[in-house]
Structure 1
Amino acid sequence: MKKLYFNGTIYTMDENHPTAQAVAIEDDKIIEVYQEVPTDWQGEKVDLNQNVMFPGFIDGHSHFVGCANALSQCDLSQCYSFAEIEEAIKAFIQEHDVKAGEWVVANNYDHNFLAEKAHPDRIVLDRISTDIPILLVHVSNHMGVVNSAGLKKQNIHDDVADPQGGKYGRFADHSLSGYMEENAFIDFQKSISSFDLDVLKANVAKAQDLYAKYGITTIQDGMVTKELYPLYQLLAHEKALKMDVVGYIDLENSRELYVNDPQKHQYYNHFRLGGYKIFLDGSPQGRTAWMKEPYTNSNDCAYPVHSDEHLYELVHRALEDQAQLLAHCNGDAAAKQYVDTFEKVRHDDYVEQTYRPVMIHAQFVGNEELKRMNAIDMIPSFFVAHTYYWGDIHIENLGYPRASRMSPVKDAINAHLVYTFHQDTPVLAPDMMKTVACAVKRVTKNGVALSQEQSVSVLEALKAITINAAYQYHEEDRKGSIEKGKQANFTILEKDPFKVDVDELETIQVTETIVDGNTIYSR
């Protein structure tokens, strides 16, 4: 039996008692929270000293195995031209002794920040190799590029038809450029997916360390497919997970996995299913997010992934299965479609319980939709770090007035909604304090201030990654705040975020991450 208490500055995120001087734990549970330091405690004492304690941070949305997979791929995040991409992939091929016919996957390129201001094409990639199939994955994970060897390996020819809800890029002569987006890209990725189990398991361990470094104690895998589900069963069976992972099943293609899962909503060695996931549109920085009004210098509003009729069927299935539904919505048109459809299904089926559906990203959700979300208990999970990382690109793509309001967290608060934050890892590192800073400051990389009307306080930002996030997972009774009876999950920071200058928020480091009373990360 492990008994100890922490003594120092503690922020509980409990509205009734927001601060404490000490917290006592026994094994994996909090057994007492003290407003004054106890004098009669019989157990180990841990002084926080200058550090401060919070409830364990909770990831609002990410792709955990995607993060693990990315650790074995070629990272292009520091490439700013086609030439640098070529150089990085050639070095990766040489370092890993890649043979002809073996796939090379390179991730995190962003055409917005390349000197050419364009996506590479298969001609560029063919300069790297005509024997090794190469796939480039855009940082958004919504588009990518493949070389001629890759197209040939997958038996894709110039006469291939564009699938519904996605497209293949073409040159002027109508031959394939190697560029793909949305469904076309997702289907292509699935067609080449294969992994070395031992390598992936090692990468899962590294990925957990990465999340723990940023104070995260509960992780999401936001798209569990038929291929990933057995992997999670194996990881749980082998007790390879040291923090909770909640998986969301691909509703479109793998519904039976959720319906037939015997452990639904119950953790088995730190893994459980939380519900379903669907996509409704694409990426604003890739100009594939579905908007009500066209992108600048264009008549294009992008497009939906699903028709209204098919989305109605998907929402109906989720509610029929009494499952929480997560929907990727970036554009305001996609957000409206999601809210409209939920309202219609509820009305038609006389449904009261909606199981807390989540609007993932909610970048440009309209204020009217936010006001309507309350009645269906819908939660916006904001990718609010977009304000910094891609805010300048959104200004180019949408104009300042529209871009300025992106990630409208304050409007969500005014609409009395529960809201959460995320980094969509591996799109961004799961850096929670950077995200908190972005929500408070709302300033782009180039120093442009976005709408300060949507700025939130430090407390409001921290709620998004603690108590609110626990609510999103239906786990507010055991996580999200430091209260008697809840899990002993804690994040310890080196500085008090309520007492530093706003520009210091993102520099605050996690010194320790504790799950079920056990330290899983210590700086």
Structure 2
Amino acid sequence: MKHILSLILIFNLFSCKENNKDSNESSKLYYNGDILTMEGDSPQYAEAIVAQNGKIVFVGTKLKAESKFKNSEKIDLKGKTLLPGFIDPHSHFGMVSNTMGQVDLNPKPVGNVTNISDILKNLKKYKEDKKIPDGEWIFGWGYDDGELTEKRHPTKKDVDKVLPNNPVYLQHTSGHMGVANTLGLESLKVSAATKNPDGGTIVRFPNSSDPTGLVQETAMYPFVRLMMEKLDSKQAEFFDTTQDYYASNGITTAQDGMTSRESIKFFQSQADAGKFKIDLIALAGYSELESNLGDTTLHFKTYKNGFKIQGTKIVADGSPQGKTAFFSKPFLTEVPGCHHDCRGLPSLTQENLNNLFETAYAKDNQLFIHCNGDASIDMVLLAHENACKKLNQLLDKDRRTIVIHSQFVRPEQLDKFVKYNMEPSFFTNHAYFWGDVHVQNLGKARADFLSPMVTAKKLGLKPTNHSDATVTPIDPIFTIWTAVNRVSRSGQVIGASERTTPYLALQAITAFAAYELFDEKLKGTLTAGKLADFVILDKNPLKVQPMEIKNIQILETIKEGKTIFKK
């Protein structure tokens, strides 16, 4: 109650500067529901909220709202729940868009693939349905060897059976490896004579140098670049559909988590043409760091027509389910292409990582570093220390370096996050999709400390939680569910002590997500003066049984006062 009264007093001071005409013009007053403000570390509710000219102009009692905004359009929530619009802490908007031009090879519950035969059927059907001529590339995405009956990756020989005359590349669900068929390998000149690149592996058949078709980490980069080039030409075609997909999931701010210079230009052109329905935040790719920082046409940390380049994304290691994440201790199960001390791979040398940090910190460029394994986090902490020392900067300067995923962070590394003013962006969807796999590959103790949101919050950190789409689907409600329950596909709980409250799970995609992106003055809470970005749910995540959270429906998404999705 004190919190609501404080908000009323703040608004009264703010509104004295406005005349009655302005304060009563084209406003919408929402009432009669659970209006959850997301301010503070415990739930705070308001009776009413008023949006006008794209911003929140009042949060408080219904009586005061009606008195102040007599001509408002009144919207009865009828007991539904209104929250700040969801903020996507990390996904790949461009890749989500590109999947609309690929073959869906996801296992259940996302797709229908259960074995390699299903993959081949889907590929063959796609070629026939789309009337794709011989010689044209075909791309697939989302297969998961751990969920296939055969418990292995498809090989070039498998794919050649149904598509012998088309080059093919199939992206693994992790996004850190994929399989090419014979024509695909030949097209990019990968053969028995090709050496493994630094930070990558071309997997070979047993007792042979002949590639199976599986390429991991940096070895897949040429295939991914080619795929993006082929599919980027269709970005404009899929742009609106992709925005609608995000909006239908309650997201008012999306992220493109590894954006090329060409994609940055495309997104800005769409924004300048007035085509944005939601805000989009780009993380520029680290390979172009120096040239990006020297380009005066790129304005980091500043929105222009709904588009902002926030910082730079670095990839420090691979994926845990793909056994390419970089750990301090070995995997417990066999790793393809490795025969001794199999701890995964760093994607960069320590020297390269140090140079990237120093270059970025010198220009106050925010860094977002993909780290799954604890050894890669060690490398990041060392790079941070090195850059601060060389540049004579404070270790805890408010630069908000974000360690994306931080999946298997160690407790003492979280202590350093606090000391260095760094933040983790966790990925609790892994508990459901690959929790069982992590127990097998890493052991129960490591698996249970997956994405430790509770521990991080107790230390004073502001953890966010993401989908990493296309790795897992865009579905914030499901992500809340995985954070609260941490239940795997088989039904086992992955780290019971790290199960969050529903409120913390919501903070991770609202207030804390805004903080991660330096947007806390614009969005993330229902506060007078912030953008009128809302999501309306049929039920309150704080008031249903934890296992029922995933059944909550998005009813409406509102961006700056305008409905962009309604069920």
TM over 0.5: yes
Structure 1 residue aligned with 2:467, among 423, 437, 453?
423
DSSP 3-state at the match of 1:499: coil
Aligned to 2:38: 13
Aligned to 1:468: 512
Deviates more, 1:205-214 or 1:466-475: 205-214
Q: What is the CA-CA distance between 1:262 and the residue it aligns to?
A: 4.2
Deviations 1:116-153 (A, max 9, x none): 11111111111112211111100011000001111222
Partners of 1:195 and 1:337 in 2: how far apart? Answer: 34
Partners of 2:438 and 2:399 in 1: how far apart? Answer: 32
Deviations 1:58-81 (A, max 9, x none): 001010010000011100112121
Aligned to 1:99: 133
Question: Are 2:31 and 2:62, in contact at CA under 8 Å, matched by a contact in 1?
Answer: no
Partners of 1:128 and 1:503 in 2: how far apart? Answer: 42
Aligned to 2:217: 182
Structure 2 residue aligned with 1:71, among 52, 77, 100?
100
DSSP 3-state at the match of 1:39: helix
Partners of 1:197 and 1:396 in 2: how far apart? Answer: 38
DSSP 3-state at the match of 1:397: helix
Q: What is the CA-CA distance between 1:198 and the residue it aligns to?
A: 6.9
Q: What is the CA-CA distance between 1:196 and the residue it aligns to?
A: 6.2
Partners of 2:266 and 2:241 in 1: how far apart? Answer: 16
Aligned to 2:382: 340
Aligned ranges 1:420-499 → 2 under 5 Å: 420-499=464-543
Structure 1 residue aligned with 2:172, among 123, 138, 149?
138
Q: What is the CA-CA distance between 1:267 and the residue it aligns to?
A: 1.5
Partners of 1:253 and 1:149 in 2: how far apart? Answer: 30
Aligned to 1:23: 49
Runs of 5+ unmatched residues, structure 1: none
Question: Are 2:362 and 2:391, in contact at CA under 8 Å, matched by a contact in 1?
Answer: no
The 1:398–1:377 alpha-carbon spacing in structure 2 relative to 1, beyond 3 Å, is same
Partners of 1:257 and 1:341 in 2: how far apart? Answer: 20
The 1:209–1:496 alpha-carbon spacing in structure 2 relative to 1, beyond 3 Å, is same
Question: Are 2:47 and 2:61, in contact at CA under 8 Å, matched by a contact in 1?
Answer: yes
Structure 2 residue aligned with 1:153, among 160, 166, 187?
187
Structure 2 residue aligned with 1:48, among 54, 77, 81?
77
Q: What is the CA-CA distance between 1:337 and the residue it aligns to?
A: 1.5
The question of 1:289 aligning with 2:333 is answered no
Question: Are 1:336 and 1:365, in contact at CA under 8 Å, matched by a contact in 2?
Answer: no
DSSP 3-state at the match of 2:229: coil
Partners of 1:64 and 1:224 in 2: how far apart? Answer: 9
The 1:262–1:396 alpha-carbon spacing in structure 2 relative to 1, beyond 3 Å, is closer
Aligned to 1:240: 275
RMSD after superposition: 1.5
The 1:417–1:435 alpha-carbon spacing in structure 2 relative to 1, beyond 3 Å, is same
The 1:354–1:317 alpha-carbon spacing in structure 2 relative to 1, beyond 3 Å, is farther
Structure 1 residue aligned with 2:373, among 331, 351, 354?
331
The 1:196–1:223 alpha-carbon spacing in structure 2 relative to 1, beyond 3 Å, is closer
DSSP 3-state at the match of 1:137: strand
Deviations 1:390-439 (A, max 9, x none): 10011111111211111111111122111101000111111111111111
Question: Are 2:333 and 2:440, in contact at CA under 8 Å, matched by a contact in 1?
Answer: no
Deviations 1:303-336 (A, max 9, x none): 2111211111011111012111000000111112
Give the AA of the match of 1:90.
Answer: K
Question: Are 1:252 and 1:314, in contact at CA under 8 Å, matched by a contact in 2?
Answer: no
Question: Are 2:178 and 2:215, in contact at CA under 8 Å, matched by a contact in 1?
Answer: yes
Give the AA of the match of 2:89.
Answer: G
Partners of 2:227 and 2:502 in 1: how far apart? Answer: 43
Runs of 5+ unmatched residues, structure 2: 1-24, 107-111, 335-340
Partners of 1:258 and 1:3 in 2: how far apart? Answer: 41
Partners of 1:292 and 1:501 in 2: how far apart? Answer: 38
The question of 1:391 aligning with 2:420 is answered no
DSSP 3-state at the match of 2:131: coil
Deviates more, 1:154-163 or 1:485-494: 154-163
Deviations 1:70-111 (A, max 9, x none): 011100112121111110100000000011111100000000
Question: Are 2:289 and 2:312, in contact at CA under 8 Å, matched by a contact in 1?
Answer: no
Question: Are 1:394 and 1:403, in contact at CA under 8 Å, matched by a contact in 2?
Answer: yes
Partners of 2:479 and 2:257 in 1: how far apart? Answer: 19
Partners of 1:403 and 1:362 in 2: how far apart? Answer: 13
The 1:12–1:231 alpha-carbon spacing in structure 2 relative to 1, beyond 3 Å, is same
Aligned to 1:173: 208
Aligned to 1:86: 120
Question: Are 2:98 and 2:231, in contact at CA under 8 Å, matched by a contact in 1?
Answer: no
The 1:26–1:50 alpha-carbon spacing in structure 2 relative to 1, beyond 3 Å, is same
Deviations 1:445-503 (A, max 9, x none): 10111221111111111111100000000010110000110000001100011111111
Partners of 1:226 and 1:118 in 2: how far apart? Answer: 36
Aligned to 1:522: 566
Partners of 2:514 and 2:231 in 1: how far apart? Answer: 34
Q: What is the CA-CA distance between 1:197 and the residue it aligns to?
A: 6.3
Aligned to 2:553: 509
Q: What is the CA-CA distance between 1:200 and the residue it aligns to?
A: 2.1
Aligned ranges 1:117-128 → 2 under 5 Å: 117-128=151-162
Partners of 2:369 and 2:422 in 1: how far apart? Answer: 11
Partners of 2:228 and 2:101 in 1: how far apart? Answer: 13
Aligned to 1:116: 150
Give me the TM-score of the superposition, normalised by structure 1: 0.97
Question: Are 1:489 and 1:515, in contact at CA under 8 Å, matched by a contact in 2?
Answer: yes
Deviates more, 1:334-343 or 1:494-503: 334-343
Deviations 1:175-230 (A, max 9, x none): 12111010111232113433466742231211111111111110111101133222
Partners of 1:15 and 1:406 in 2: how far apart? Answer: 26
Aligned to 2:66: 39
Give the AA of the match of 2:211.
Answer: L
Give the AA of the match of 1:355.
Answer: R
Aligned to 2:406: 362
Aligned ranges 1:180-259 → 2 under 5 Å: 180-195=215-230, 199-259=234-294
Partners of 1:117 and 1:374 in 2: how far apart? Answer: 40
Question: Are 2:260 and 2:284, in contact at CA under 8 Å, matched by a contact in 1?
Answer: yes
Structure 2 residue aligned with 1:303, among 325, 333, 345?
345
The 1:264–1:401 alpha-carbon spacing in structure 2 relative to 1, beyond 3 Å, is closer
Partners of 2:99 and 2:140 in 1: how far apart? Answer: 8
Give the AA of the match of 1:32.
Answer: F
Give the AA of the match of 1:344.
Answer: N
Partners of 1:191 and 1:163 in 2: how far apart? Answer: 17
Partners of 2:264 and 2:124 in 1: how far apart? Answer: 33
Partners of 1:382 and 1:449 in 2: how far apart? Answer: 17
Q: What is the CA-CA distance between 1:15 and the residue it aligns to?
A: 2.2
DSSP 3-state at the match of 2:544: coil
Partners of 1:481 and 1:258 in 2: how far apart? Answer: 32
Give me the TM-score of the superposition, normalised by structure 2: 0.90
Deviates more, 1:93-102 or 1:29-38: 29-38
Question: Are 1:383 and 1:422, in contact at CA under 8 Å, matched by a contact in 2?
Answer: yes
The number of equivalent residue pairs is 523
Give the AA of the match of 2:246.
Answer: Y
Question: Are 1:57 and 1:217, in contact at CA under 8 Å, matched by a contact in 2?
Answer: yes
